[in-house]
Structure 1
Amino acid sequence: MKHLILGSTGFIGAALFRTMRSSGLDVVGADVRDSTEMPFIRFDALSPDFESLVREAKPDVVINCTGAASVPDSFTAPLYDYTLNTARIAEMLEAIRLCAPTAKFVHFSSAAVYGNPDVSPVAETCRVKPLSPYGWHKYHAENICKEYYEMFGVKTISLRVFSAFGPGLKKQIFWDIYNKALKSKTLELFGTGYETRDFIYVDDVAKAVMCLIEKGCFDGRAVNVANGIASTIRCAATSLLSSLGLQKTIEFSGSERLGDPLNWQADIQYLSSLGYTPDFTLEQGLEKVAAWMHEQ
C-alpha cells in the first residue's frame, strides 16, 4: 500500500514518516514547507489543491497530520483555526471521494474534544464538551469524517490523540519548562501541579497509527490514542528536570489557562484490542527529550 502523509514536516508527521519508512512501507510526504525527505510533494498553504495532490500520489491511505495546534491561538483567531482544522479536512475528503474513493483516511483529531470529562478514564463513547474553539473544530472535523463514510462510503477514522511529546516539539509544557529552567532557579507553571495528562511518546503515536491502519475499523469512528496512564503535571515536570540534570524549584500559580482541561486519562480498550502496546514510559520518553534539549 502507498501511504500519503499530509503535514509530513510537522512534529507528528515527521515522526510518522520516519517510522513508516524504516518499517519498509511505501510512503510519500506532503506539506506546505520543503523537505529533504523523498518522495515529497509541496502544496500551497493558502489554496491547497488536494485533488491534484491525490491524483499525483495515488495513495491507498491518506494520513492527515496538518492543522493549527494551539488552543490559545484558537481563541484569538477562531476562523483561521476553523479553516485549518475543519474546512481543510472537508477539502481532503472531497479529493479522496473524487480521486481515490477506495483509499483509507486517517484524521488526527484531539482529546480536546472531551474538555473536562464526566468520568475517568474517558472512553470514546463519553460525552464531548470542548473547552476551546480548537476542540470544537476538531470535533466538527470528526463529524465530517463520519459524514463522508455514511454518505459516500469513504473509509475514515479519527484519532483522539492525548498529550503527545518527544524530541523536536518546541512548544507546550516540556519546552516551556526547559526554557524557564535556563533562565531562573525557580519555575512557575500554571495550575496546581496535580492536574493530570495521559502522555504518549511520539514514536508510540506512530506505532498506534500503523496498528490502526492494519487492523482498525474505518467506519467513521473516533479512537483514543494514548497510553491509558494518568500522570500529574508536577511529576512530569520533576521527571524532566531530573533527566536534564537540573536542580530547580517548581512553583504553581494556581491559575488555570483558558481552554486547558483539569484531568485526562484515556480508556484505550479498543486500541489495545488491536494489539497496541507502548514502547516508552513517560520517563523513558523524557530521557530522549532531555538528550535532544541538551543538543539545543
Structure 2
Amino acid sequence: MRVLVIGSGGFIGSHVADTLEATCDVVRADIFPSDAKDFVCYDKDNPDYAHLLRSIAPDVCINCSGAASVPASLSDPQHDYLLNARRVIEMLEAIRVNSPGTRFVHLSSAAVYGNPAVMPVTEAAPAAPVSPYGWHKYYAELACREYFEQFGVRSVSLRIFSAYGPGLRKQLFWDVYGRARGQEVLELFGTGGETRDFIFIDDLVSCIALILQSDVFDGRAVNVASGVSVPIEQAVTTLLAHLDWHPKLAFSGSARQGDPMQWQADISSLTKLGFEPKYDIVSGLRKVAVWLKEQN
C-alpha cells in the first residue's frame, strides 16, 4: 500500500509515517525541508496538491497538517480556516481530479462536539463547536462528506480526542513540564475537575492502521480516543509523580475561552474494528516523563 502522509514533520504525522513505513510504501510531505527517505517539500502558501497526487499516486492520503491551537483560532480565525478547512477542500479536489482512486484520511478533532450534553459522546451527537478551531474542523468534515456523496472520493474523518506522547512540545503536559520545574506552587487554568479522554500516540497510530484496513471510507466520522474520562488534576498529578516533582497544585477557577468542560468518547466504532487501547494514563505518562527528563 502506497501512503502519502501530508504534515509528516508534525507530532502525529511523524509517528504515523515512522510506524506505517514498516508495512507500507510511505511518502512523507511537509512544508519544511527534510533529509528523510521519500520526502517531498511543498510550498506552505501555495501547496501544489495536484502535483503531489499525480506524481505519487498514493492508495491513501493521510492529512496530518493544519493548525492545532484553539487560542490561535480565536485570535486569527481566518488563518485557522485556511489551514483547517480550505486546505482540506483543496486536497479533496486534487484527489477528485488527479487521483480519484486515492482514499483520504482527514484528522479532525473532538472539538466539533464542544460541550456534549450526553457522555460518552457518540459520532451521532450533534456538532456544537465552542471555538473557531472546532468549527473549521467540522467544515472540513462536511467537505469530506460532500466529496464522497457528490464525487465518490472515499474519505473518513477521525475525531481525535486528547492525543499525547513523547515528542509533543505543546499543550498540557509540555506546559506543566516547563512551568513546574523547581516551583513550590503550580497554578493552572480551570478547576482541575475538567475531564479529557486522553489517547497515547502509539494507540492513535494503531487506530489509523486499523482504519486503513477497513471499509469505513464513506465520508463518515469516527471517534479516536481511549474511551476513558480523566480529570485534569489527576493527569497532572500523575505526570508530576513520574517526574518526582511535588509542587502544590492550584487552579484559577476560570476556564479559557474555547475549552470544553467534559470529554469522554464512545469508541464502539473503533472496537468493532478490533481496537483495544494498550496504554492508560499512568503507563502513557510514564513514557512521556522518561522523554521529558531527556530534554533540556
Indicate the TM-score class for this superposition, using the shorter chain for normalisation: over 0.9
Aligned-partner Cα distance in 2 for 1:253–1:54: 48
Could you tell me which amino acid in structure 1 is paired with residue 169 of structure 2? K
Distance 2:84 2:184 in 1: 38
Please state whether the residue corresponding to 2:46 is helix, strand or coil.
Answer: coil
Q: 1:47 is matched with which residue?
A: 46
Amino acid at match of 2:126: R
1:216 deviates by 3.9
Are 1:173 and 2:155 counterparts? no
**Identical columns (%):** 53
In the comparison of the two structures, how many residue pairs are matched?
295
Q: 2:13 corresponds to which letter in structure 1? A: G
2:287 corresponding residue in structure 1: 288
User: 8 Å contact 1:7–1:31 — kept in the other structure?
Assistant: yes
Gaps of 5+ in 1: none
Cα offset, 1:36, TM superposition: 3.0
Q: CA deviation at 1:38?
A: 1.1
What secondary structure is seen at the aligned counterpart in 1 of 2:187? strand
How do 1:7-156 and structure 2 match up within 5 A?
A: 7-22=7-22, 24-156=23-155
Q: What SS is found at the alignment partner of 1:48?
A: coil
TM score, norm. by length of structure 2: 0.98
- Hey, what's the Cα distance between the residues in 2 that align with 1:26 and 1:136? 34
Once structures 1 and 2 are overlaid, which stretch shifts more, 154-163 or 28-37? 28-37
The one-letter amino acid paired with 1:211 is L
Partner SS state of residue 227, structure 2: coil
- Paired residues of 1:189 and 1:251 also in contact (CA < 8 A): yes
| TM-score (ref. length: structure 1) | 0.98
Structure 1: distance between partners of 2:20 and 2:184:
41
SS of the equivalent of 2:21 reads: helix
Deviation, 1:34, is 1.7
Aligned letter for 1:172?
A: Q
SS at match of 1:228: coil
Q: How does 1:257-276 map to 2 (within 5 A)?
A: 257-276=256-275
Q: Deviations over 1:64-108 (max 9, x none)?
A: 000011000001100000000000001000110111101110000
Deviation at 1:183, TM superposition (A): 4.7
Work out the CA distance in 2 between the residues paired with 1:107 and 1:258. Answer: 25
Q: In the TM superposition, what is the alpha-carbon distance from 1:208 to its structure 2 partner?
A: 0.2
What amino acid does structure 1 have at the position aligned with 2:125? C
Over the residues paired in the alignment, what is the CA RMSD in angstroms? 0.8
Q: 1: CA distance between counterparts of 2:36 and 2:197?
A: 31
Question: Can you list the C-alpha shifts for 1:237-256, whole angstroms capped at 9, x where unaligned?
Answer: 00000111111111111000
- 3-state SS of paired residue (1:188): strand
Deviations 1:222-249 (A, max 9, x none): 0000010000001000000011111111
Asked if the contact 2:192/2:231 (under 8 Å) is kept, the reply is yes
Q: Is the 8 A contact 1:6 1:13 kept in 2?
A: yes
Task: Report if the CA contact (8 A) 2:191-2:252 is conserved.
Answer: yes
Assess if the C-alpha contact under 8 Å between 2:181 and 2:245 holds in 1: no
Instruction: Extract unaligned runs of 5+ from structure 2.
Output: none
Which has the larger displacement, 253-262 or 211-220?
211-220
Q: Which runs of 4+ in 1 moved over 6 A?
A: none
CA deviation profile, 1:26-60 (whole Å, cap 9, x unmatched): 11100001223211100000000000011111100
2-structure distance, mates of 1:217, 1:295 = 40
